[in-house]
Amino acid sequence: MSSLEKSSSKASPGGTRIGPPPQWTLSRSRKLARLYVYTTLSIGRIIKVLGDDLFAPRKNSAQKTVHKMLDHDPRHLRPESRVEMDQHIDSLSKSIIRKRTPGNIIGRLHPTEVQRRIFDCSTLYAEKSCELPITDIGAVGISPTPGFAVPGDFLTAHTLNCAEVPASGHGSGTCWCTIVAETTREEDSWLTPTGEIRDKVSDLVRNPSPEVCQLHDPFGNTLLHLFSATSGCQAQLFRLVPYAGNALGLTNTANQTFLHVLSPEH
């Protein structure tokens, strides 16, 4: 359970949660963050896009959730214009993972329901905004077996105890241990074979720039991918985002953006 969900629920001494269900679930929180970071919609309008008969949060609740996930003053993360918004969303929509997902996954949320909720926006604007809540792209998670691993998984594979995962085929030469060893032996890797972030990364983060945000490992994972996937690295991620620009839409060799590999703790 994420910290957002923990803070929204109360439990009785016996472990049974009491009170109403949390409004800002992990899925809703991620949709809120995507609409905030990728569109020019105001908080009030984002609430209208996400709201339904059972979910009608107040503006201050949404603002607190945004600040908890992103920063105390996250306005610098937002696109400055409609042109910049379109560029970021178009880059995100090119991902293979998003294309594999049926477009009607949320059924009732359609560009024309969005238009009714934010009535003075254009059809195209509504379509762009609708693309972001359609799929929970941050909930992909690590592949269940090594055979289906993709570059985003390489960044967190060292956190798995291969010997305790029956499906990993530990010792077979194709398990998570082998993947970690093979994907980190190159000097261009962000990680050491034991899973630590390399010293050179710290130097890059201390001097962020658009050029730094364009750098990537042999599999196309940028520093945004690295810090999104790694638990406890929110500060490093937020430090880079203001410099990222078009790098926000960069994908690795599996066409994953940094949001696809987002750790549940973020």
**Which has more confidence, 236 or 23?**
236
**Which has more confidence, 81 or 132?**
81
Residue with tokens 């899973």: 195
pTM for this model (two decimals): 0.52
Q: Is the pLDDT confidence value at 3 over 60? A: no
pLDDT for 111 equals: 55
Q: Is the pLDDT confidence value at 145 over 70? A: no
Task: Tell the burial category of 97 from Cβ atoms under 10 Å away from its Cβ (0-12, 13-18, 19+).
Answer: middle
Task: Count other Cβ atoms within 10 Å, centred on residue 33.
Answer: 22
| Residue 197 to residue 184: CA distance in whole angstroms | 10
pLDDT for 36 equals: 87
Q: Is the pLDDT confidence value at 14 over 60? A: no
Interior CA angle at 37 toward 2 and 95, to 5°?
A: 85
In this structure, are residues 4 and 19 in contact, taking their beta carbons and an 8 Å threshold? no
| Residue from 259, 253, 257 nearest 151 by CA | 253
pLDDT above 70 covers a percentage of the chain that reads 68
| Residue from 165, 163, 183, 178 nearest 225 by CA | 183
| Residue 81 to residue 202: CA distance in whole angstroms | 32
**Which has more confidence, 115 or 225?**
225
Residue with tokens 């050491």: 192
| Residue 15 to residue 18: CA distance in whole angstroms | 9
Q: Which amino acid is at 131?
A: E
Taking residues 21-30, report their average pLDDT.
73
Listed ranges 21-25, 36-40, 45-49, 248-252; the one with the highest mean pLDDT: 248-252
Q: Note the pLDDT tens digit of each residue in 244-262.
A: 988 998 999 988 889 888 8
Q: Which amino acid is at 254?
A: A
Q: Note the pLDDT tens digit of each residue in 59-113.
A: 999 988 888 777 677 777 788 888 888 877 776 665 444 433 433 323 334 555 6
Buried b (16+ CB within 10 A) or exposed e, 51-61: eeeeeebeeee
Taking residues 28-53, report their average pLDDT.
85
Inter-CA distances, 166 with 64, 148, 156, Å: 41, 15, 18
Q: Is the pLDDT confidence value at 124 over 70? A: yes
Taking residues 22-49, report their average pLDDT.
83
| Residue from 246, 229, 228 nearest 237 by CA | 228
pLDDT for 8 equals: 40
Listed ranges 143-152, 209-218, 229-238; the one with the highest mean pLDDT: 209-218
| Residue 114 to residue 118: CA distance in whole angstroms | 6
Q: Is the pLDDT confidence value at 16 over 60? A: no
Residues ≥6 apart with Cβ < 8 Å to 121: 114, 115, 129
pLDDT for 140 equals: 43
What's the N-to-C CA distance of the chain in angstroms? Answer: 12
Q: Note the pLDDT tens digit of each residue in 193-213.
A: 888 999 999 999 999 999 999
pLDDT for 212 equals: 96
